[in-house]
């Protein structure tokens, strides 16, 4: 009986903690400077690995990315808001490798 109680209490406290940590990790990864860049990372992963594998951001220079992103955004059929966030993300990443 004692053992059962212990397990019950342990799982209750585990459940109580889970939503809090999930909230924090979902908001912004701490290494990103702002929400746009964090969102850009998400959008990049979601939209940019469909036709080819996800390209390594640091393989290209910022100058190349400024041409590549509009080009690929058209292929991926994403809106200009998503395009802008992806561009912010790749530019940030090339400067913070
Ligand atoms: C509809 C298909 C499609 C989608 C979606 C797509 N691409 Fe591409 N991408 C291509 C094709 C085709 C090429 C040329 C062949 C190759 O390099 O694999 C290419 C090439 C590239 C290259 C290499 C360019 C170069 O000059 O060497 C990069 C970088 C790239 N894509 C990034 C992206 C990014 C970022 C996104 C998301 C916004 C994206 N792609 C989404 C089809 C796509």
Assessment of whether the complete model's pTM goes beyond 0.85:
no
Tokens linked to 51 = 């036709």
Please report whether residue 58 resides in a domain. Answer: yes
Question: For residue 69, what pLDDT is reported?
Answer: 98
pLDDT of residue 64 exceeding 50, the answer is yes
Kindly calculate the radius of gyration of the chain based on its CA atoms and give it in whole angstroms.
20
Q: How would residue 31 be classed by pLDDT, with cut points 50, 70 and 90? A: confident
Domain membership of residue 87 as a residue range: 28-95
The number of folded domains in the chain is 1
Question: For residue 11, what pLDDT is reported?
Answer: 47
Please report whether residue 13 resides in a domain. Answer: no
Please report whether residue 2 resides in a domain. Answer: no
Indicate if ligand 1 lies below 6 Å from the C-beta of 48: yes
Please report whether residue 45 resides in a domain. Answer: yes
Please report whether residue 67 resides in a domain. Answer: yes
Tokens linked to 85 = 């966030």
CA of 31 relative to ligand 1 center, distance in Å: 26
pLDDT of residue 33 exceeding 80, the answer is yes
Determine the Cα–Cα distance for residues 90 and 57; give it in Å rounded to an integer.
Answer: 6
Which atom of ligand 1 lies nearest, measured to the CA of 90?
A: 35
* Torsional class of 54: left (φ above 0), alpha (ψ -120 to 50), beta (otherwise): beta
pLDDT of residue 27 exceeding 60, the answer is no
């Amino acid at each position: 009986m004692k053992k059962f109680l212990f397990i019950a209490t342990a799982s209750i406290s585990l459940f109580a903690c889970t939503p809090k940590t999930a909230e924090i990790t979902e908001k912004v990864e701490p290494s990103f400077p702002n929400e746009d860049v964090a969102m850009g990372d998400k959008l990049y992963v979601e939209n940019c690995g469909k036709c080819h594998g996800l390209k390594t951001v640091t393989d290209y220079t910022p100058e190349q990315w400024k041409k590549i992103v509009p080009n690929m955004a058209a292929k991926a059929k994403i809106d200009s808001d998503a395009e802008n966030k992806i561009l912010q993300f790749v530019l940030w990443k090339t400067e913070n490798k």
